[in-house]
């Protein structure tokens, strides 16, 4: 994998469903993996920053896991709510500074 | 703390005009960057800076110029606006990842630019 790739591109779920997305990235020269939540007409807001293989982070109903050896991270949302509707971005930090972003997964939660 | 601020929020330019998008942060972050966001393209890095007096190009630098004379400010200059530069521009900042790679990057509210 040469770039940061996210799947699926978009997702529609019913309120109360649990869901997950995938972020795939080059495993070489890895420093950190960031997840952002981005609501329409707002700026991206950081959810998690993960650095170690096997890292698991949790914030309320949202959690994330990291596998740096195989180059992927999963974001899970348990019991989706309409307010979870947003685009979820992942970004890989390869060096000390720059982030390379995926194109995002757009989640729509239907009431 | 105001965080990362950007001005203006909206701007319409005519082809060939120049302008400067302003970005400022009050968190004493070493690293600042400019991204553009286009439909289906995600966030693409234009230029970045790792400290006052130090800047470098990102993925899509053509047509843009930056300078960093202070830690707080990182303006983005459009030299001669083109319709292809119609986009939403985000400024972001963070601490250096040299000491701790787990630092978050904070984004400004964005500037929506239309070039006609």
Q: Considering chain A, what is the average pLDDT of its residues?
A: 93
Percent share of chain A, pLDDT over 70: 97
Going by pLDDT thresholds of 50, 70 and 90, the confidence category of residue A23 is: very high
To probe the interface with B, which of A41, A96, A102, A104 has the most B CB atoms within 10 Å?
A96
Question: Which of B38, B39, B105 has the highest number of chain A CBs within 10 A, making it the mutation to test binding with A?
Answer: B105
Edge to edge, the sheet with strand B4-7 lists B4-7, B19-25, B76-78, B64-66
DSSP result, B3-14: -EEEE-SEEEE-
In Å, how far is A94's CA from the nearest CA of chain B?
10
Tell me the chain A residues in contact with residue B103 when contact means C-beta distances shorter than 8 Å.
Answer: 49
Residue keyed to tokens 């950007």: B6
Between A94-98, B28-32, B67-71, B91-95, the lowest mean confidence (pLDDT) is in: A94-98
* Residue A92 contacts B, CB cutoff 8 Å: no
Q: Indicate the SS3 state at residue B41.
A: coil
- Looking at residue A2, its pLDDT comes to 63
Closest CA to B88 of B28, B22, B9, B16: B9
Q: Does the distance separating the beta carbons of B97 and A93 come in below 8 Å?
A: yes
Closest CA to B41 of B55, B59, B57, B66: B59
Rounded to an integer, the average pLDDT of B1-9 is: 92
Q: How confident is the model at residue B103 (pLDDT cuts 50, 70, 90)?
A: confident
- pLDDT band per the 50, 70, 90 thresholds, residue B83: very high
B39-46: average pLDDT = 89
The strand ranges marked E within A1-111 are 5-7, 10-14, 19-24, 32-38, 45-50, 56-59, 62-67, 72-77, 86-93, 99-101, 105-110
Over residues A22-49, mean pLDDT: 93
**Residue A51 predicted with pLDDT over 70:** yes
Do B42 and A44 lie within an 8 Å CB cutoff?
A: no
Distances (CA, A) of B116 to A12, B8, B10, B13, B82: 35, 17, 14, 6, 8
CB contact under 8 A, A98 and B42: no
Average pLDDT, integer, range B18-37: 95
Query: Which residues from chain B sit within 8 angstroms of residue A93, using beta carbons?
Result: 97, 101
Check whether the bond before B8 is cis (ω within 30° of 0).
yes
């Amino acid at each position: 994998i040469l770039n940061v790739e996210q799947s699926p591109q978009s997702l529609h779920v019913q309120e109360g469903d649990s869901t997950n997305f995938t972020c795939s990235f080059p495993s070489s020269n890895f420093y950190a993996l960031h997840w952002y939540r981005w609501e329409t007409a707002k700026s991206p807001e950081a959810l998690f920053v993960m650095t170690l293989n096997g890292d698991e982070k949790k914030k309320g109903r949202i959690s994330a896991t990291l596998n740096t050896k195989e180059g992927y991270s999963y974001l899970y949302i348990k019991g989706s709510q309409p307010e979870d509707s947003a685009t979820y971005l992942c970004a890989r930090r390869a060096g000390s500074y720059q982030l390379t972003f995926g194109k995002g997964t757009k989640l729509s939660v239907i009431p | 703390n105001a965080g990362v601020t950007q001005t203006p929020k909206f701007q319409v330019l005519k082809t060939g005009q120049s302008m400067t998008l302003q970005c400022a942060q009050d968190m004493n972050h070493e690293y600042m960057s400019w991204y553009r966001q286009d439909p289906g393209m995600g966030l693409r890095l234009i230029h970045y800076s790792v400290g006052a007096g130090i800047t470098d190009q990102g993925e899509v630098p053509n047509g843009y110029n930056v300078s960093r004379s202070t830690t707080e400010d990182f303006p983005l200059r459009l030299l001669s606006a083109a319709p292809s530069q119609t986009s939403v521009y985000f400024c972001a900042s963070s601490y250096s990842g040299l000491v701790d790679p787990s630092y978050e990057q904070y984004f400004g509210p964005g500037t929506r630019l239309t070039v006609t």
